[in-house]
Amino acid sequence: MNPRDIGYWALIAEDFETHDRNFFAQGFWALFWHRFGNWRMSLKAKVLRAPMTLVYRVMYKLTQWLCGIDLPFSVVVGRRVKLEHFGGMILVADQIGNDVIIRQNITLGNPGDTRQEQRPIIEDGASLGAGAVIIGAVTVGRDAVVGANAVVNKDVPAGAIVGGVPAKIIRMRDDKHV
């Protein structure tokens, strides 16, 4: 579901702005097709929705292949999310909040095929370092920072900076955002 507090085209424009107005930014295109996938579900008439679903499925697969980003429409994605340094992104979370930064080679998902409902929640303002793995029904709190190559399998409190395998709190952020 797309954010309800902004129209579809305004949301696309905001995503474009978030990706530095770079028409060729792979993160922008992954979000574009994600937003399109959600928009097409708002079409009530099956005769209209069916061709849009075909377009979405083709473009979703092309985005996986060409951009290296897997972001299914079923993930609730907030506003101003930046997918930096494309490639190797498996973003099968329950929710990704507003103002989140996600870097390359990130895995968000369930811990195994038998627990499909256990997907992470990434709260507003979180920053995920390159190569981080966040698995299971865990929450990365507001304004938290997950270090590069960290493996998160437990909740991360708001404002925490975590790193390591498994991830442990390194320190709490002391800036005004916490």
Identify the pLDDT of residue 65.
94
Q: Which of 19, 34, 85, 177 is catalytic?
A: 85
Q: What secondary structure does DSSP assign to 79-142, as a single string?
A: SS-EE-S-SSEEE--SEE-TT-EE-SS-EEE-SSTT-TT---EE-TT-EE-TT-EEESS-EE-T
Query: Global pTM?
Result: 0.89
Verify whether residue 19 is a known catalytic residue: no
pLDDT on residue 1: 85
Report yes or no: 52 and 33 within 8 Å, Cβ to Cβ.
no
List, for residues 72-102, the tens digit of each pLDDT value.
999 999 999 999 988 899 999 999 999 999 9
**Mean confidence (pLDDT) of the chain:** 92
Place of tokens 């999310």: 81
